């Protein structure tokens, strides 16, 4: 036993010194290494929580194809550090409340197709350490809704977006209605014919030395290379204490062996100078710029920037300026314990890109293989939505989610105001809880509020959805308008409506929303039993709800 402890201590000490760990951090590392070595002997059997088998089968298939390396010493240390020194950062979310249509008939916000929040929550729910203590700021309902696929209508001729709408009873408040708006972007990306200029910007600092960080990022990028064609070019830039161009301008078909070897050679060590890494990545992207193609930096990191430019305001200013070059920045988040969600979201939002969290090889497959087109190819920039509610139909409204995407009403027509990009075939899901006109306690008491209704107010229209967007590279926006009327009102909502309602309700429970009404885990599961679990991702969501329900029961 003594020999075993000495060997473990020696290995832990070497790992600490190689990763830049301070002396004060070595002792908890040794303790964690010993604890894990003893705990693994008595590790309990895995609990089965999956009702459907499709998710596990798909995961197993891709786990064999891209085999996960064994856990390292630093993995044990990170596990200990997460339990006692968790430094993850999430922005505070001020939940949307109800607004009177009589005085505030407009809802204006930026498009959002990010999915990071859902994947991050999945990671937390599957980790017993987070049971009962999920940060409210980590819950962004719009990203939970947008994670899933829905059967929304395709856009018509001369339209950029197809619109699907349904209005039905609100599951958690029987007195109100629930509005589902599904907006689906056009499928054909013009830039696809001209290929992609991609720069993989990989964080190789010491904090990335873990199986669910750099090891997983390497596997994810390997999968992406497999999906690219001769039309594309790939470069790899790494950053830690400094920055390095590992390979540039490589053809993913002709130079595939060199590319895969370059990815495989990456290792983690040092501090995190994201500023120098970003600058180098943009420089490389500009060298291979395709004026009519897709130009994108894909950043892989835990967001823990600790050298150079580190504040959200500085990052905002820097990437906002760089996106004017035509090079967009998408972000793939990895890891736990020190994860900086605030910085990662800022980089993606202001860099005109998307924000994903990669917690498994299955998620890498979804983002970089199944949804590659919508991940890489933008069909519309600065996409903004403005909804005008009809006071003859709606007394008050509350948008569910999109709190950090809200815009001032006057910014809708301001082409200088930045908004989100939308990829080819991507869907944006939006939900509102509506108080029907004439409901008790919703009438305006303002002295000078006119009660006269316009001609439109006397019609069967519930609302008008206006969408402004720019063609990629354009400076002037275009406008699309869709009217939602009584034909969308139903007593038999679709499976998509029921499933999206369950997702929204689950998000409100996790964030302890003051507007959750009668919501509880049983009501979410009841909705899911009515909605077809048509793919592995929906089956997995059903399992996550059961895990959350179990955790809640254990923490009462």
Mean pLDDT check: name the lowest of 60-74, 134-148, 274-288, 504-518: 60-74
pLDDT in tens, 366-389: 999 999 989 999 999 999 999 999
- Residue linked to tokens 């009668």: 518
Share of the chain above pLDDT 70, in %: 79
The three-point CA angle 216-116-243 to 5° equals: 50
Give the whole-angstrom CA distance, residue 417 versus residue 412. Answer: 8
The closest of 272, 333, 331, 346 to 307, measured between CA atoms, is: 272
Spatial neighbors of 43 by CB under 8 A, at least 6 apart, are: none
Positive or negative: CA dihedral 202, 208, 209, 210 = negative
- Provide mean pLDDT across the span 416-443: 87
- Provide mean pLDDT across the span 283-292: 94
Contact 368, 252 (CB under 8 A): no
CATH 2.60.40.1230 in the chain: give the residue spans: 99-189+379-443+453-533
- Residue linked to tokens 């922005």: 91
CATH code for the structural domain at 99-189+379-443+453-533: 2.60.40.1230
pTM for the predicted model, two decimal places: 0.83
- Residue linked to tokens 């999956």: 50
CATH 3.40.50.410 in the chain: give the residue spans: 192-369
- Residue linked to tokens 């497959």: 365
**Local structure of residue 428 (DSSP, 8 states):** E
Contact 277, 203 (CB under 8 A): yes
If one counts every other C-beta atom within 10 angstroms of the C-beta of residue 21, the result is 18
User: What tokens appear for 547 in the block?
Assistant: 């895990």
pLDDT in tens, 151-161: 999 988 889 99
CATH code for the structural domain at 192-369: 3.40.50.410
- Residue linked to tokens 């020696």: 10
Q: What is the pLDDT of residue 454?
A: 55
User: What is the SS3 string spanning 465-495?
Assistant: EEEEEECCCCCCCEEEEEEEEHHHECCCCCH
């Amino acid at each position: 036993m003594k020999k075993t402890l000495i060997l473990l201590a020696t290995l832990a000490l070497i790992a600490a010194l190689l990763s830049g760990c301070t002396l004060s951090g070595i002792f908890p590392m040794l303790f964690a290494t010993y604890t894990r070595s003893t705990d693994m002997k008595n590790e309990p059997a895995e609990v089965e929580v999956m009702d459907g088998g499709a998710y596990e089968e798909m995961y197993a298939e891709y786990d064999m194809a891209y085999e996960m390396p064994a856990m390292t010493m630093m993995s044990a240390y990170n596990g200990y550090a997460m339990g006692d020194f968790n430094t993850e950062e999430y922005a505070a979310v001020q939940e949307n409340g109800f607004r009177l249509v009589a005085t505030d008939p407009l809802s204006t916000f930026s498009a959002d197709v990010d999915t990071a929040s859902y994947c991050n929550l999945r990671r937390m729910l599957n980790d017993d350490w987070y049971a009962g203590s999920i940060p409210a700021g980590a819950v962004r309902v719009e990203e939970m809704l947008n994670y899933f696929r829905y059967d929304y209508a395709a856009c018509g001729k001369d339209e950029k977006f197809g619109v699907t709408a349904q209005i039905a009873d609100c599951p958690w408040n029987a007195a109100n209605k629930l509005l589902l708006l599904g907006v689906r972007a056009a499928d054909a990306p013009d830039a696809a014919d001209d290929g992609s200029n991609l720069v993989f910007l990989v964080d190789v600092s010491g904090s990335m030395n873990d199986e669910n960080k750099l090891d997983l990022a390497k596997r994810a990028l390997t999968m992406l290379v497999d999906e690219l064609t001769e039309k594309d070019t790939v470069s790899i830039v790494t950053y830690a204490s400094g920055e390095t161009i590992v390979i540039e301008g490589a053809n993913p078909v002709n130079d595939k062996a060199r590319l895969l070897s370059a990815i495989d050679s990456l290792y983690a060590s040092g501090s995190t100078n994201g500023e120098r890494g970003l600058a180098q990545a943009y420089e490389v992207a500009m060298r291979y710029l395709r004026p009519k193609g897709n130009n994108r930096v894909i950043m892989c990191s835990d967001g823990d920037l600790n050298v150079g430019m580190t504040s959200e305001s500085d990052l905002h200013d820097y990437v906002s300026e760089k996106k004017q070059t035509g090079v967009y920045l998408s972000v793939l988040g990895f890891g736990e314990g020190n994860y900086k969600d605030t910085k990662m979201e800022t980089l993606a939002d202001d860099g005109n890109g998307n924000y994903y969290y990669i917690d498994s090889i299955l998620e890498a497959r979804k983002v970089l293989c199944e949804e590659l087109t919508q991940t890489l190819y933008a069909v519309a920039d600065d996409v903004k939505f403005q909804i005008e509610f009809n006071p003859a139909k709606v007394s008050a409204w509350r948008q569910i989610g999109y709190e950090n995407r809200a815009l001032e009403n006057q910014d809708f027509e301001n082409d200088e105001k930045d908004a989100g990009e939308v990829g080819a075939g991507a869907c944006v899901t939006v939900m509102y809880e509506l108080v029907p006109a004439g409901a008790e306690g919703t009438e305006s008491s303002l002295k000078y509020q006119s009660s006269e209704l316009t001609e439109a107010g006397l019609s069967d229209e519930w609302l008008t959805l206006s969408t402004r967007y720019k063609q990629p590279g354009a400076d002037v926006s275009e406008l699309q308008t869709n009217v939602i009327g009584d034909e969308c009102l139903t007593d038999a909502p679709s499976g998509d409506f029921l499933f999206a309602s369950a997702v929204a309700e689950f998000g409100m429970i996790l964030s302890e929303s003051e507007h959750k009404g009668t919501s509880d885990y049983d009501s979410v599961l009841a909705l899911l039993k009515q909605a077809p679990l048509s793919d592995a991702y929906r089956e997995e969501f059903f399992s996550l709800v059961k895990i959350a329900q179990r955790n809640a029961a254990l923490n009462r």
